Amino acid sequence: MKAIVFATNNKHKISEIQAILGDQFSIIPLSEIGCTEDIPETSLTIEGNAMQKATYVNEKYKVDCFADDTGLEVEALDGQPGVKSARYAGPGHDFDANVTKLLRELNGQLSRRARFKTVISLITSDNEMLFEGIINGIITAERRGNEGFGYDPVFIPDGYDKTFAEMPAELKNSISHRAIATRKLIKFLKENY
Ligand code: ITT
């Protein structure tokens, strides 16, 4: 089976993307190439951060790799937290504090519409590519469910009545922002890698 480095420190992303890749490609984690440091994410856009993470690993470790940058864009908050989704409530990547802040900011707002956007950047010796996945939905008033991670307990995708955290992982992994972007990555890798 072909293998490629996934430039992430987020274990949830690794298990979701490996589940979507199935037995077509396997992921080499950063620990296996000796990359244990925090990768800089200083861009003002999701696309820029995805490319920054993949470029960092490609240049420093001389490996083909891909990275995922994801943001939750909330209509009533002018697209926030967006590119700052991981650090919305402050540095430290605290999922729970981020969700608490989001629910507080949305208190009393008329629109609860939001979307998840994932951009996957791929860098190989022959190509630099971006693949996007977007899913629209609404933010609930309270947390619901224990599956998934991050903002999953408060996001209901359009066409469903459960949050991502109330769904079995197989369902989230078949419809999510990350699933849409990953399927585009798989198609490209199958044809070009
Ligand atoms: P990397 O090492 O890949 O950068 P990260 O956790 O810092 O991992 P991001 O910069 O892409 O990831 O930050 C996005 C944040 O948005 C992440 O910390 C989660 O809180 C949230 N998030 C990302 N994907 C999500 C998903 O599928 N469901 C719910 N929340 C998600």
For each of the domains in the chain, give its residue range(s) and CATH number, in order of start: 2-192 (3.90.950.10)
Positions annotated as catalytic residues are: 69
Q: Which residues pair with 70 in a beta bridge?
A: 118
The per-residue pLDDT for 24 is: 87
- For residue 40, the model assigns a pLDDT of 95
| Tokens 């001389």, residue located | 62
Q: How far apart are CA 101 and CA 118, in angstroms?
A: 21
Pocket flag, ligand 1, residue 178 (CB < 6 Å): yes
pLDDT band at 1 (very low <50, low <70, confident <90, very high): confident
What is the rounded average pLDDT of the residues 151-161?
A: 98
The atom of ligand 1 lying closest to the CA of 178 is 27
30 Cβ contact partners less than 8 Å away, ≥ 6 residues apart: 5, 6, 7, 8, 9, 36, 57
Q: Indicate whether residue 8 lines ligand 1 (CB < 6 A).
A: yes
Tell me the average pLDDT of the chain: 96
Pairing outcome for strands 128-139 and 81-82 = unpaired
How is residue 145 written in tokens?
């469910």
Q: Can you give the pLDDT at residue 183?
A: 97
What is the model's pTM? Answer: 0.97
Does ligand 1 come within 6 angstroms of the Cβ of 172?
no
Cβ-contact 10, 30 below 8 angstroms: no
